Amino acid sequence: MGQESIEFRNYYQVIFSTNYLFQGINNSLFTVIIPIYLIQIIGSIDASSIAFIASIIMIPWVFKIFYGMIGDKFGSKRFGRRRPWIVTMVSFSGIMWIFLSLPFTYTIDNIIFIFTIMGLLIFLGVSFGDTILDGLVLDITPKEKLGRTSGFNWSMRSVGTIAGGPAFSLFVVIGIIDVPTLFLVMGVLSILSSLLIFMVKEPKSYPKVTLGRNLKDMFNNKRDWKTYVFSLFNAIVDSVAMLVISIYILIRMNVLSSVGTSLSLPSGNINIYLYNGNISIIISLGVVIGSVFGGQIADKVSRKISVYIGYVITTISLILMMISAPWQILLIFSFL
């Protein structure tokens, strides 16, 4: 059975991009705000604990292919196949943020464990909702508008990633909001943004999906396996590398104290949130500019060459981060 055409309304773009914006903010908070907050609460934390949290919370993104299969197959006759999954899973992540805002949720002894589990659950909801939202966008967006719609969505996601953490860092530093209240605000806004999806009209009929055959087709091609391994590597490394680089530069700036692998705030100065936010902006600008130029090389020259160039630049830059250079120079390497 074919899928009927849905009239694409202009406000759908606003709803989609709002949800993608909050996906980016989720990533930014775990890179910019939470590591410093943990050090502030505990007083001293092992760097491996922060890297461990960053690795674990990214695991749900690895399984996006399975979320897509579930979203293709199962749904509600009344509310549609996509919308219930998006609203339920994104709201679930919002509830986890609200849970983190409660004062009795964690103690100094269990805070690492709690933030690891909560981060895992938050990104489970975000990655699941993101996958199904991608499907909904493809379902109802006319082909002639799909490129612009997808481009704007991902631009807003980048805005959330680049500006979300730094903006909230500024609010924390100047006293507009404290970190637990920030978690509460993030939770409520996530839930509200997901509820907007119910304003988007969804097809009532979809092509029949056979999970067994589709699953088999996904794993019988060597080229597909290369993509899966590449995605697994990037899902874990991207977040960890960005976080570790930020912490390393903060240490070189002498706003974080490092004894062995133990990290602490020598002065207790909350301006470190702002410092970390600015570092995140510089790294993220490198991501955006690299994406633009990498896409140009991929389209006009070769996709494979674009990948090789990207890895060469990244590898050389990470090696250069190891040299004893002023932190201003390290910012240049982090941008690269």
Q: Is residue 249 in some structural domain?
A: no
Backbone angles phi, psi at 223, to 5 degrees: -65, -35
Q: Is residue 67 in some structural domain?
A: yes
For residue 99, CA distances in Å to 19, 71, 121, 172, 310 come to: 21, 27, 11, 19, 39
What pLDDT shows up at residue 184? Answer: 95
Q: Is residue 254 in some structural domain?
A: no
Asked whether residue 197 falls in the same domain as residue 289, the answer is: no
Give me the number of domains the chain comprises. Answer: 2
Q: Is residue 255 in some structural domain?
A: no
Is the separation of the CB atoms in 57 and 297 below 8 Å? no
The parent domain of residue 285 ranges over: 268-336
From first to last of the 336 residues of the chain, give the pLDDT tens digit: 445 567 788 888 899 989 999 998 998 888 888 988 888 888 888 877 887 888 788 888 878 878 888 887 777 777 778 899 999 999 999 999 999 999 888 888 899 999 999 999 999 999 999 999 988 888 888 877 777 777 778 778 878 887 788 888 888 888 888 999 999 999 999 999 999 999 988 877 666 766 666 667 667 777 777 777 776 666 655 666 667 788 888 888 888 777 776 777 776 667 788 887 788 788 878 877 887 777 778 777 877 888 888 888 888 888 888 888 888 898 898 888
What pLDDT shows up at residue 259? Answer: 75
Asked whether residue 92 falls in the same domain as residue 179, the answer is: yes
Token pair of 104, please? 């009795």
Asked whether residue 216 falls in the same domain as residue 331, the answer is: no
Q: What is the pLDDT of residues 67-99, one digit of tens each?
A: 888 887 777 777 778 899 999 999 999 999 999
Q: In 3D, which of 194, 15, 197 has the Cα closest to residue 95?
A: 194
What pLDDT shows up at residue 172? Answer: 86
Within the chain, residue ranges assigned H as helices are 10-32, 34-42, 47-57, 59-62, 64-73, 83-101, 111-140, 143-173, 179-195, 211-218, 222-252, 272-300, 303-320, 327-335
Q: In 3D, which of 282, 288, 280, 287 has the Cα closest to residue 244?
A: 280
Q: Is residue 70 in some structural domain?
A: yes
Asked whether residue 171 falls in the same domain as residue 302, the answer is: no
Q: Is residue 95 in some structural domain?
A: yes
CA distance 126 to 20: 10
Domain boundary among 194, 224, 254: 224
Asked whether residue 187 falls in the same domain as residue 79, the answer is: yes
CA distance 16 to 32: 25
Asked whether residue 148 falls in the same domain as residue 25, the answer is: yes
- State whether residue 204 is helix, strand or coil: coil
Q: Is residue 39 in some structural domain?
A: yes
What pLDDT shows up at residue 206? Answer: 65
Q: Is residue 5 in some structural domain?
A: no
**Contacts made by residues 302-309, CB under 8 angstroms, sequence distance 24+:** none
- Please, which residues bridge with residue 258 across strands? 263
Asked whether residue 218 falls in the same domain as residue 309, the answer is: no
Find the CATH number of the domain harbouring 29.
1.20.1250.20
